[in-house]
Amino acid sequence: MSVFFLIVVPYAALLVAIGGGIYRFYVRPFSYTSLSSQTLEGRKLYWGSVPWHYGIGFILLAHLLAALFPGATEALLGNPWRLIIIEGTGMGLALFALFGLLVLIFRRVGTRSLPRFVTSRLDGLLLALLLLQTATGFLIALFNRWGGLWYVHTAVPWFWSLARFHPDASTVADLPRFVLFHFVVGFAIIFIFPFTRLVHLVKMPVHYLWRPYQRVVWYRQPGAGRKPDES
């Protein structure tokens, strides 16, 4: 069973994500967007989007840097005080991201919610999986302490074995089932992401950094077209 969930599922998720993303890009190129619902409701979007993006962004960056530089990560976390500070910061960021995600979900709840009408079923499933993934990540950090250290010696070698096409799940097979569940949910998110609004992650507007600035002007004089009795 561990072979299926820790080797077959990751490769299947990546294959579907890449193939589905390419297919959507060429067949439905204008759907490669976050499909923002800001014009429908903006206040809750702000209080949800900002904490979610900053919280989850720093957490994902920490995961990525630890995978790319395991030796430096181990040295950094070798000091007990640094380990405590980094672990506490990570849990704080997880709570920050959870708050934002709950706001984003709440703004889609209710019969009068306008964003609900532009949220597909797969988008709803994605939000549920993201909530589950973030919550389990926080609980792992809370109850399976010093995850930064054992992550380097368990998950990182597993990730690299998958990347080298020599899969070896032996370093993670004996981890608690709750941790393995966290891994599987992560690949489930990768599996469905090309069919949701999350696909915009692979089309970040990097060209905005060097494109000429955009100038917005009125196409008519402000106030033109008003009736004489209008104030």
The predicted pLDDT at position 124 comes to 85
192, 123 Cβ separation under 8 angstroms: no
- Per-residue confidence of the chain (231 residues) as pLDDT tens digits? 588 999 999 999 999 999 988 888 788 766 666 665 544 455 667 788 889 989 999 999 999 999 999 999 999 998 889 999 999 999 999 999 999 999 988 887 766 766 666 677 888 899 999 999 999 999 999 998 888 889 999 999 999 999 999 999 999 999 999 999 999 999 999 999 888 877 766 665 555 555 565 555 656 655 555 555 554
Alpha-helix residue ranges (DSSP H) falling in 144-228? 147-153, 155-163, 177-192
The predicted pLDDT at position 31 comes to 64
**CA nearest 156: which of 168, 141, 145, 174?**
168
User: Residue 149: exposed, middle, or buried by beta-carbon count in 10 A (0-12, 13-18, 19+)?
Assistant: middle
Domains and CATH numbers, the chain: 2-33+40-205 (1.20.950.20)
The predicted pLDDT at position 231 comes to 46
* Residues 140, 182: Cα–Cα separation, whole Å: 9
Cα dihedral across residues 222, 224, 226, 228: positive or negative: positive
Residue with tokens 């405590």: 84
The predicted pLDDT at position 92 comes to 96
